[in-house]
Structure 1
């Protein structure tokens, strides 16, 4: 029986970055379709200035994520991203980039998300910059998505809004708090899975999905 796992995320969410190794393994579960949906949680009204207090909070939280997941939050990220007072905490541009990928090469959205996260958290690059995001997509061979992002047309903006609206409606419908959130659809039924398993015991989560 086919199953769909909807992964609700934000590209600037540290816990979503921490979940990427487990997510990679989930892609290999037989009979499971993985659907990525950006929530826009840290875009628009959810964006904010990167002041010293927020940067310190983010770094402290990132270290906790690193301890639990083994994911790298580099000094380059701390110095070039968190210490940059001109760079806002705004996932809007990265979310739009991922929608450009969804529009042109949907099977590559995971690859694009991973590359954007590595660019930010390891390389210390500004993924709130459209030019930086276009370069990342080009490096992945996603030239159509890069061209779309370089000159966004109304269709891309509409798609982006529709994707984030769908994700937000799902969060509300299932009273899910924050991201990452996992929704499993099987036999016509949809349920929320405990996303902490992405960090604590991904093997058990994979077994649960395989048996669902």
Structure 2
């Protein structure tokens, strides 16, 4: 009997990962998806919202919306991206995803909720109070979530980010999002760009791969996209 799962190396503040959210949802209907938070804007890379940051991210976001159909809300474009008091820090939402997974296997559900809160509702997803509210939105017990969040904050989350980045480097991934299909311990990198905007097609492809031993297939050249470990590519 073969064992299959999809490893998803992501960041909650990576716009291309938000663009790939429908792919993750589709993949979860086929096989288990294991999340690996990459820390794009963690530690020294955390930033306060500024005019310079806004001018940098908006072209990315508009292209992501065009290619994937993912909605970006006015509360994000006209609100959060003009909020000079907002801090963009990947570490707290990664901690929240880890806590949701530990509590109830709901990490992917919370990630989707966090992404919608950021890119559609313009909420400050680096703030623990906001993350607690989002966890409650998906039905997690607030007290239990808070306890798990506190326990996983700091060193535990930073160790997870370091492991994710090591896996990304070993897989030869250029950044986030990166998907790796695992079959019996063997990994095959999935060309995410080939499936953007086509979640049903990805699900069908995965179903065709799961019953048989996984072997690498040649990938056609494609336009470079995504968020690298330190920045995004338009």
- What is the TM-score normalised by the length of structure 2? 0.81
**Contact kept? 2:92, 2:153, Cα under 8 Å:** no
SS of the residue 2:195 aligns to: helix
Q: Which whole-Å CA distance do the structure 2 matches of 1:191 and 1:128 have between them?
A: 32
1:120 is matched with which residue?
118
Residue by residue over 1:95-137, the C-alpha shift from the partner in whole angstroms, topping out at 9 and shown as x without a partner, is 11112112212x2111101111111111111111111111111
Q: Which whole-Å CA distance do the structure 1 matches of 2:95 and 2:196 have between them?
A: 27
- Aligned pair 1:174/2:175, yes or no? no
1:135 is matched with which residue?
133
Alignment of 1:5-20 (within 5 A): 5-20=6-21
**Contact kept? 1:138, 1:146, Cα under 8 Å:** no
Paired residue total: 206
| Cα RMSD (Å) | 1.7
Q: Which whole-Å CA distance do the structure 1 matches of 2:7 and 2:26 have between them?
A: 15
- What is the TM-score normalised by the length of structure 1? 0.89
Q: Which whole-Å CA distance do the structure 1 matches of 2:174 and 2:126 have between them?
A: 24
Q: Structure 1 residue 201: deviation in Å?
A: 4.0
Q: Which whole-Å CA distance do the structure 2 matches of 1:70 and 1:189 have between them?
A: 32
- Aligned pair 1:26/2:23, yes or no? no
2:77 is matched with which residue?
78
Structure number having the greater helix percentage: 1
Gaps of 5+ in 1: none
Q: Which whole-Å CA distance do the structure 2 matches of 1:198 and 1:50 have between them?
A: 31
- Aligned pair 1:146/2:143, yes or no? no
